[in-house]
């Protein structure tokens, strides 16, 4: 079993998407540890504020399979990957740490994630895994947060009303399992989210 630390964020219908994502993670991986949820300003672009939190889970999955499943979960929530890097997100989930693995080089899969330098990533992780050691710096997440320029600032905590499995038509079983591929029989279906500000895309397999 490997400990994976995830960073979650959303600024489009954020409470709905984060709640459903946590329900899907619990259904797929069992007990998880969830940080408080914070409201933070958008970084790198002008847009609605984000809600951010972090999750710690244990998994037997290889990193590539876990990352693929999380991407499918993002896609199920209508994630648009065609826009600029810094833009609004229905759901953004990054594997920040996967045990003590270090992956550097070209491509988007970098472990630990370089976004760890941002308070909206580091603080929630330090809340739930203060003693976890960053394999790059050799320092604990608690120590890294205490050394951060924003340490000691007040952060707005948001109560996240978590939904049960299946809210919004999305359950863990609807997502792609590791190594499964899209086929002609996997057809996307679209439903309008409850808040009306975005669309939720889920996978309907016929």
Residues facing residue 40 across a β-bridge? 50
Question: β-pairing, 199-205 with 92-98?
Answer: unpaired
Q: Which one of the listed residues 26, 28, 89, 113 is annotated catalytic?
A: 89
Residue 59 · residue 66 · CB < 8 Å: yes
| Residue 131 is among the residues annotated as catalytic for this protein | no
Q: Which one of the listed residues 26, 28, 75, 94 is annotated catalytic?
A: 94
Phi-psi region of 70 (alpha: psi -120 to 50; beta: other; left: phi over 0): alpha
| Residue 192 is among the residues annotated as catalytic for this protein | no
What's the N-to-C CA distance of the chain in angstroms? 34
What does the chain come to in residues? 206
Q: Which one of the listed residues 26, 28, 79, 113 is annotated catalytic?
A: 79
Question: β-pairing, 50-59 with 33-34?
Answer: antiparallel
| Residue 113 is among the residues annotated as catalytic for this protein | no
Q: Which one of the listed residues 75, 92, 127, 134 is annotated catalytic?
A: 92
Helix (H, G, I), strand (E, B) or coil at 10: strand
Angle at 21 between CA 181 and CA 190, to 5 degrees: 60
| Residue 94 is among the residues annotated as catalytic for this protein | yes
Q: Give the active site residues.
A: 79, 89, 92, 94
């Amino acid at each position: 079993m490997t400990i994976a630390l995830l960073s979650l964020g959303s600024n489009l219908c954020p409470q709905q998407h984060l709640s459903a994502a946590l329900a899907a993670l619990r259904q797929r991986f069992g007990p998880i540890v969830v940080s408080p949820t914070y409201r933070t300003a958008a970084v790198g672009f002008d847009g609605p504020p984000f809600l951010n939190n972090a999750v710690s889970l244990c998994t037997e999955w290889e990193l590539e399979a876990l990352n693929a499943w999380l991407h499918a979960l993002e896609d199920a929530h209508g994630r648009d990957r065609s826009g600029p890097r810094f833009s609004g997100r229905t759901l953004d989930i990054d594997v920040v740490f996967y045990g003590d693995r270090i992956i550097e080089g070209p491509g988007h899969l970098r472990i630990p994630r370089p976004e760890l330098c941002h308070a909206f990533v580091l603080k929630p992780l330090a809340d739930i895994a203060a003693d976890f050691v960053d394999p790059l710096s050799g320092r604990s997440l608690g120590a890294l947060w205490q050394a951060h320029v924003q340490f000691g600032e007040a952060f707005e905590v948001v109560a996240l009303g978590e939904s049960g499995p299946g809210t919004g038509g999305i359950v863990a079983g609807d997502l792609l399992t590791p190594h499964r591929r899209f086929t002609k029989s996997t057809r996307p279906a679209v439903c309008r989210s409850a808040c009306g500000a975005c669309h939720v895309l889920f996978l309907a397999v016929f």
